Amino acid sequence: MNNAFSFVPLSNALYKRLSQLHDKKFRKEYKQFIVSGDKLVRELLVSGLKIDYIIAEAGWLQEIDKRAVQRYTCYAVDEAVLKKLSGQVTPNRVMAVLPLFAHAKAVLPSKNERIIALDCIQDPGNLGTIIRLADWFGIDHIVCSNDCADFYNPKVIQSTMGAFLRVKVHYTNLESYLQEARNANVPVYGAFLKGENIYNASLAKQAIIVMGNESKGISDKIGSYVTQSITIPSFRVGGAGSESLNVAVATAIICSEFARQSML
Amino acid sequence: MNNAFSFVPLSNALYKRLSQLHDKKFRKEYKQFIVSGDKLVRELLVSGLKIDYIIAEAGWLQEIDKRAVQRYTCYAVDEAVLKKLSGQVTPNRVMAVLPLFAHAKAVLPSKNERIIALDCIQDPGNLGTIIRLADWFGIDHIVCSNDCADFYNPKVIQSTMGAFLRVKVHYTNLESYLQEARNANVPVYGAFLKGENIYNASLAKQAIIVMGNESKGISDKIGSYVTQSITIPSFRVGGAGSESLNVAVATAIICSEFARQSML
């Protein structure tokens, strides 16, 4: 099979534009974002999602099945250029530029459905890790307050390890969303340092699970919509231990316990 | 109260030495490591641990109770210098330099004790997060294979959020350690993608919990010592979801389930 096809050189203007996509403002303006890395881009190519163009090492373009990429404009660049563009220490061999997703408005969980709501999660790595674990626990939707880290931040996309293709992340006024939940009598669980021991709590199959900011937790405003406060008890007996868990770790433990109880 | 005391200016030689402490080789050579940030250093000051010296903004040294720091040599530096030295984006106001800990040899878990064993965990953030959650779940000891990330890496220390002061992290030949466990009939649980569903498994109170490398999982060598393979089932029904969970997230879920069952 002849895998050779024509590569387009990267213009200075396009290089600049790609660098700008690390910045939320420009992602909004250009309505585009970047997905980096061999594994993620290969997953993307089979997903059928629209790709605007691909930037890769010439070697990567030669290795991949031509049929997988021939319908896209492919720019061949040096490893050093890719490293600069991806902003990562570990060099990536390929990047794809995609149009922003068109996520529908956040809706309330259906019967037997859990949805995660995030109140001002700031760290992109935490957001990405939460998207990844939501995927694992079969959670299809995450509702973010507008001040959460940006879904399209390259660090978020990277740390989802591909789950950004499956879990829908909605940005909205979280208060209004939770007001709707209140009107519809949907249980809203909130993770606090003081609340009912999660292992003893009866966790509903239809639920919104609210997780708060890394240092401040759930804000008072958002907390007023919580119908059941839950907590992961510390098992450090006698004396002071850690004050809290990392928010992605806490979300994982809570989703695990919801999932476990749903099996009973 | 007069909080003024004399500050020592930072010499070029000391600046160089501090920069070198980001490198494992030099931490070993100088037998020192760095703890950064107001919160961690304040925790350190009340811990009674030996501190070699403190580097801080003059403002920080003026704010803190003189009695807390007067027995240490304190170097007053500019914010810009601290930022460079800490290697972090968010500027820290203070750093402390400490002698490396003298951790005793790893021993087997006592009756009712869980110990985490890590097989080649490479990401410093993951190691730090695991130390933090171990503290939460009352786990006092973590046994690391010699190829794990270095406990004294500033990113590890930072992400433990203070738990590095409580949880003992031992580096050892993990095979020999697990051979000891085998000889003593201590149950060794290993997290695999295929194993017994953790929610149905009967989890012993005395246990070693082995977690594997971020991309390769538990190596065959180490896996041969596992007496019970466990898995966190995916709840993504119908169709492909994420292939795995982040290792810190998986450790958290497993420790949570061990802790929950220990309450029954």
B12-99 CATH? 3.30.1330.30
The predicted structure's pLDDT at residue A2: 40
How large is the average pLDDT for residues B165-180?
97
Does residue B64 or residue B2 have the better pLDDT? B64
Any chain A CB within 8 A of the CB of B256?
yes
The predicted structure's pLDDT at residue A104: 82
**Confidence class for position A1, pLDDT limits 50, 70, 90:** very low
CATH of B114-263, one of 3.40.1280.10, 2.40.50.140, 2.60.120.260, 3.40.350.10: 3.40.1280.10
Question: Under an 8 A CB cutoff, do B129 and A243 touch?
Answer: no
Which of A161, A243, A262 faces B242 most closely, judged by CB atoms?
A161
Percent of chain A at pLDDT > 90 equals 77
Nearest chain B residue to A263 by CA: give it.
B199
Does residue A213 or residue A87 have the better pLDDT? A213
- Assess whether pLDDT exceeds 60 at residue B2: no
How large is the average pLDDT for residues B86-90?
71
Chain B residues closer than 8 Å to A132 by CB: 242, 245-246, 249
Q: What's the rounded Cα separation, in Å, for the pair B228 and B226?
A: 6
Any chain A CB within 8 A of the CB of B241?
yes
B121 with B130: CB under 8 angstroms?
Answer: yes
For A153-191, write each residue's pLDDT tens digit. Answer: 999 999 999 999 999 999 999 999 999 999 999 999 999
The predicted structure's pLDDT at residue A140: 96
Any chain A CB within 8 A of the CB of B136?
yes
Domain ranges of chain A: 12-99, 114-263
- Assess whether pLDDT exceeds 50 at residue B257: yes
**Confidence class for position B89, pLDDT limits 50, 70, 90:** low
Which of B136, B199, B257 faces A263 most closely, judged by CB atoms?
B199
User: For the purposes of burial, counting CB atoms within 10 Å of the CB of A227, is it exposed (0-12), middle (13-18) or buried (19 or more)?
Assistant: middle
- Assess whether pLDDT exceeds 80 at residue A73: yes
Which of A133, A138, A162 faces B249 most closely, judged by CB atoms?
A133
Q: Choose the weakest-confidence range: A12-16, A120-124, A239-243, B256-260.
A: A239-243
Which of B136, B237, B260 faces A241 most closely, judged by CB atoms?
B136
- Assess whether pLDDT exceeds 80 at residue A147: yes
The predicted structure's pLDDT at residue B6: 60
**Confidence class for position A241, pLDDT limits 50, 70, 90:** confident
How large is the average pLDDT for residues A52-72?
90
Any chain A CB within 8 A of the CB of B247?
no
Q: What's the rounded Cα separation, in Å, for the pair B133 and A234?
A: 9
- Assess whether pLDDT exceeds 90 at residue A85: no
Helix (H) or strand (E) holding A20: helix A12-20
Q: Choose the weakest-confidence range: A25-29, A83-87, B59-63, B131-135.
A: A83-87
Q: Residue A167 — φ and ψ, nearest 5°?
A: -85, 130
Chain A residues closer than 8 Å to B159 by CB: 246
The predicted structure's pLDDT at residue A17: 93
**3 state DSSP class of A14:** helix
DSSP for A55-100 reads EEEHHHHHHS-HHHHTTSEEEEE-HHHHHHHHT-SSPPSEEEEEEP
The predicted structure's pLDDT at residue B5: 53
- Assess whether pLDDT exceeds 80 at residue A86: no
Q: What is the pTM of this model?
A: 0.93
The predicted structure's pLDDT at residue B3: 43
Nearest chain A residue to B238 by CA: give it.
A138
Residue A230's beta-bridge partner residues? A196
Any chain A CB within 8 A of the CB of B5?
no
For A115-140, write each residue's pLDDT tens digit. Answer: 999 999 999 999 999 999 999 999 99
Distance to chain A for B51, nearest Cα, Å = 21
For B14-65, write each residue's pLDDT tens digit. Answer: 999 999 999 999 999 999 999 999 999 999 999 889 999 999 998 999 898 8
Mean pLDDT across chain A, nearest whole number? 92
For A15-45, write each residue's pLDDT tens digit. Answer: 999 999 999 999 999 999 999 999 999 999 9
Which of A137, A162, A256 faces B256 most closely, judged by CB atoms?
A256
DSSP for B172-203 reads E-HHHHHHHHHHTT--EEEEEEEEEETTTS--
Question: Under an 8 A CB cutoff, do B260 and A259 touch?
Answer: no
Question: Under an 8 A CB cutoff, do A133 and B244 touch?
Answer: no
The predicted structure's pLDDT at residue A89: 67
Chain B residues closer than 8 Å to A259 by CB: 235
Question: Under an 8 A CB cutoff, do A257 and B252 touch?
Answer: no
Please report, as a single letter, which amino acid is at residue A169: V
Please report, as a single letter, which amino acid is at residue A141: H
Chain A residues closer than 8 Å to B234 by CB: 136-138
